[in-house]
Amino acid sequence: QVQLVESGGGLVQPGGYLRLSCVASGSIFSINTMGWYRQAPGKERELVAVITRGGSPNYADSVKGRFTISDNAKNTVYLQMNSLKPEDTAVYYCNAGYYPYVYWGQGTQVTVSS
């Protein structure tokens, strides 16, 4: 089992920035992929960014050049979000896994509004 706890969400004005963190605990030695997804009201959950052990990060087209995913090579993944837009408003979920297991955090709300 893997437990994921997100933090760092909040209310920010358009053009602002936030940094999300996700700490993994439990059986983390097997994790080979960590990432962030988001779900806006009335929409399906979508991939934001993912990072794989030994690989390059991948981003949704909508966040390329604005968001950066990184990790500390141990148990934490970050999402630096710059130049935030109102359409970035959503609940952001941390995701971690190793085939065939996938784990989710409880989510953290990000609201971009003036």
- Do residues 77 and 70 touch, judged by C-beta distance below 8 A? yes
pLDDT confidence of residue 74: 83
pLDDT confidence of residue 53: 81
pLDDT confidence of residue 3: 94
pLDDT confidence of residue 65: 97
Tokens found for residue 43: 């929409």
- Do residues 84 and 8 touch, judged by C-beta distance below 8 A? no
CB proximity list for 61: less than 8 A, separation 6 or greater: none
pLDDT confidence of residue 54: 77
Q: Up-side HSE of residue 73: CA atoms within 13 Å toward CB? A: 1
Residue segments in the chain with a per-residue pLDDT below the cut of 50: none
* Per-residue pLDDT tens digits for 17-35: 999 999 999 888 888 899 9
